[in-house]
Amino acid sequence: MQREPGSSLIERKEKYTIVETLIVDHVAKSFAATQAVKDVSFAVEAGEIFALLGPNGAGKTTTIRMVLDLLKPDRGSISVLGGPMSAETRDRIGYLPEDRGLYRKLKLLDCLVFLAGLKGVASGEARQRAQAYLERFDLAEHSQKKVNELSRGMQQKAQFIVALLHDPDLLIVDEPFAGLDPVNVRLIKEVLREQAAAGKTIILSAHEMYLVQELARRMVMINHGRVVLYGPIAEVRRKFAANAVIVEGHGDLGTLPDVTSVQRQNGRAVLQLKEGASPQQILRTLSRNDHFTVERFEVALPSLDDIFVQVAQEEDV
């Protein structure tokens, strides 16, 4: 895990033991006097759910558009599914844009079949797949409605189905949970996990950090057009952890050496440790305490939401 991008990802490629679906190598993009992306590098491994994060206006959407070859980088290089973008590669990518791109005057089923056909899926196969997805996403009874007659949440689910219909190897989803109730959020999570388990690579861009933390193993955070965090989410959280532990149990904790304060929250105790003290020391002390039985003990890690806010605010100073 690193706060800043290191040497060229292309130069370091021999160090990777897992095949990369995507390599973004020091790309930059300007629009007139505005430099939207200044220097972004990251690699996405095959079969993982990878989080692409950043505040609004950070350069995420521009980066996605360069990955999709909708925009050309001013400098740097991008390798997708083993090489530069081609028509064949493009058909292996599924994309859920933040802004919906459905044909609003078409009936829902016809719209899905038409868009799948643009990705090379035969009409009969597309209709069969679409009907199966409509059943799963509780949209079957709305299949003959025009897209503009659907609710916002229904349109969001329909757009998600479009990204899946041609069975892509790389799935890029930008704000997939927008406008969805908890039941449908759970459904989208389930489908994303199934896709990853089937070997598909998923790039997830979302502002719901608790969902990102549940789903993704690794992440990159972009701010002001540069990479500010990159690596496994577990390592990122450990890096930002305060020197504290969470303890649950029964009995009297008493006075613990190397603990500066005890804060009780919802039946648990958060112990702030002295500088230089380790969680292992505290656990050994508690194990010798005849007046307290430990039921749960863990290092207190910040949420990804807390880290996102902290880093974004630091970068804006």
- Per the model's pLDDT, the better-predicted residue between 197 and 271 turns out to be 197
Task: Of 60-74, 216-230, 250-264, give the lowest mean pLDDT range.
Answer: 250-264
Q: Would you mind telling me the total number of residues written for the chain in this entry?
A: 317
The per-residue pLDDT for 317 is 54
Query: Which pLDDT band holds residue 316 (cuts at 50, 70, 90)?
Result: low
Could you give the CA distance from residue 114 to residue 162 in angstroms, rounded to a whole number?
10
pLDDT in tens, 108-152: 999 999 999 999 999 999 999 999 999 999 999 999 999 999 999
Which uninterrupted H or E stretch holds 110? helix 108-118
pLDDT in tens, 63-112: 999 999 999 999 999 999 999 999 999 999 999 998 877 898 999 999 99
Could you give the CA distance from residue 294 to residue 248 in angstroms, rounded to a whole number?
6
- 0.85 surpassed by pTM: no
The per-residue pLDDT for 176 is 95
- Give the residue among 165, 153, 34 at the shortest CA–CA distance from 95: 165
